[in-house]
Each structure stands twice: as structure tokens, then as C-alpha cells.
Amino acid sequence: MKSLFTIVLAGLIAFAAPDSIAGSIKVTTTPVPLNSEDPNQTDVGKLRYRGGIAMRSSDATFGGLSGLAVSANGKRLFSVTDTGRRLAARIVYGENGDLAGLRRTDLDTLSGLDGEPLKAKSESDAESISPGVEGEIIVSFERRHRLWRYMPGQVLPEPLPPPDELADMKKNSGIEALTLLADGSLIAITEGSNKSDSALAWISSAEGWSVMTYVTNDKFRPTGAATMANGDVLVLERRFTLRAGVAVRIGRLKGTSIRAGARLRPQIIAELRPPLTVDNFEGIEVNQSADGRNWIYIISDDNFSPLQRNLLMMFELME
């Protein structure tokens, strides 16, 4: 299944609008520790830190990174943004295999149904991505909630029928997490509300979408999802409070628990909060190496704010 992202990433230029300002962008990367107060810390929960970077650019269009994809061989990165752009880059690793930087970074504009670049915020707020069974990439958008798929070699997206309930969601409460399951179905999870102990979720089938419930607690809200080689799903969750600031955690759903009508209750495998390096993480990807190790990548959205950062961090799941 993950090889589909390799196919998609090989032809990323197809997703750029024809008259978009496409091409190379200079992105500066700076290493970040797991713990700013204890540089020797490498483990948190069931995760071992394998390097991270802060990403910056003098180009004002860079930022707002949300959905994340990494090719099956770990060499290429793809991310969509809150302003309807897509970032593509080569991932650089150190001699020990830790994440060390990016190179050959390109920033382009996603195409709309008319072939023009997405511009208005109501149209361009991309939040999550997933491969599809035909090698396409599927993008979920907020504000005007919808699912579009971009087929390999095609510029124009194709609308996908969304879950019926999505039409009644508030503009900032749409699909935040989207991932392809081993059987070819999609799981989609909304961000939900701090006033509720659950978030609306769906699973797709040939007949359409079926409702599920994703259990939340401690004000953490789902922001991303990725499917493991064994069929389990990792869900990235984020919390922000004025008292405690930002925290993120990663939960694990057993693949066998994901079915129509299910009440999904993740097992938390790690939680990051200060003094650990943390920000507005919204995208997650997981790959498995030839020797069976699971590599987890997470990316943060700086909201184009000088008070936040675009971070990319890599972990190894220890189990």
C-alpha cells in the first residue's frame, strides 16, 4: 500500500496548476533536539528520537504545512498547506540514519477544478492527504469541506463523494485526518470540539461512507493519521491551552477495530509537551524498513506566525 505514495511522489508536478509560480524555493533547516533542556534525552513513550529540523524560508508563501507523505523508501517528502500549495523535497539523513535536512525543495500551487491555482482561503485550506488505490493522492479541504483526488499525470482534480454529515460541519471542523487502510477503504476523522469527548469519523466502502466515533480526552484533538504495514493506524493529536501551552501525542488504533459503527479508542504510545520540542503538529506518516522497523514522521503548521515553527521530526517506534 505505501508504495502508492512512491508512485504519486514520482509525478508531483502533475498536481501544480499550469500557471502557478512553480519551482525551487530556498528552505533553511536547523537541527532541533528532542528536549531543549536535556540534549541527551532520546526516548519518549514508545518512541526513540531520530532527528528533527526547523524549516524556514524568506519566501512569504512558505508555511502552513499540514498533511504529510513520505515515499516508501524514505527519500522524498510531500506536504500540502493551509493556502493550497504543495511542498516537495528530498530528505537528507546523517551517517547514523537520523533526519538531518532537506534538499531540492519545490513549492507549487494546487490546481482547482478549472485548472487555475487555488487562491481564496475558502477554497485552498488543505488539511490532510492520503494515497488512493489507483496511485492518486486524495486531499481533504476545510472551510468549503470536500475531498478531491489528483490522479497521476493529471492536473485537474476529481471530486469524491464526501460523507453526508460533512455538509453540516462548521468551517473549521472538517476532516483533519485521512488515511488509506490495507483493504483499500479510507478512514476520515474530524477535529471535533473541546466541548465533546469524541470526534465524528467515517470509513468508506463501495456503498459510501459509514459513521464511526473517535474517542477524545484531556482536550486533545485529532490532526493526522497514517497506516502501518500491519494495518494498525497511528493518529496524531494536538492540544492547546493558555495554561499549559501546546502538547501533542500519538495514539494507535488496532486495524481490526476500525469498522462501521465502531467507537475508536486509541492506545497512546507517546506524548510530547514542553520542555520537549513541540509545536502545532498536523501531519504524520509512517514507513516500515526492510528489516521491520517503523519510522514515524510528524510535521507542524506554523500558521504563518513568527511565534510558531515549521518542524519536521522523525522517530523510531520501539516495540
Q: What is the pLDDT of residues 86-122, one digit of tens each?
A: 999 999 999 999 999 999 999 999 999 999 999 888 8
- In tens, the pLDDT along 47-97 reads 999 999 999 999 999 999 999 999 999 999 999 999 999 999 999 999 999
Give residues with Cβ within 8 angstroms of 182, minimum separation 6: 1, 227, 231, 255
Q: Which domain holds residue 249?
A: 3-317
253 contacts 49 by C-beta, under 8 angstroms? no
**Segment 161-178 mean pLDDT:** 91
Percent of the chain at pLDDT > 90 equals 80
- The amino acid that residue 291 corresponds to is D
Angle at 300 between CA 295 and CA 157, to 5 degrees: 90
When pLDDT is cut at 50, 70 and 90, the band that residue 19 belongs to is low
Residue 107's pLDDT is 94
DSSP string, 22-81: -SB---EEEE--SBSS-TT--EETTEEEEEEEEEE-SSTT---EEEEEE-TTS-EEEEEE
Whichever domain contains 283, its CATH number is 2.120.10
Percent of the chain at pLDDT > 70 equals 93
190 contacts 169 by C-beta, under 8 angstroms? yes
Please identify which residue in the block is written with the cell numbers 453540516: 168
3-class secondary structure, 149: strand
Split into its structural domains, the chain has a count of: 1
Across the chain, mean pLDDT equals 91
Residue 282's pLDDT is 96
Residue 122's pLDDT is 84
What are the cell numbers at 129?
Answer: 492527504
Is the whole-model pTM more than 0.85?
A: yes
| Short-list 224, 207, 223, CA closest to 163 | 207
Cα maximum dimension of the chain: 52
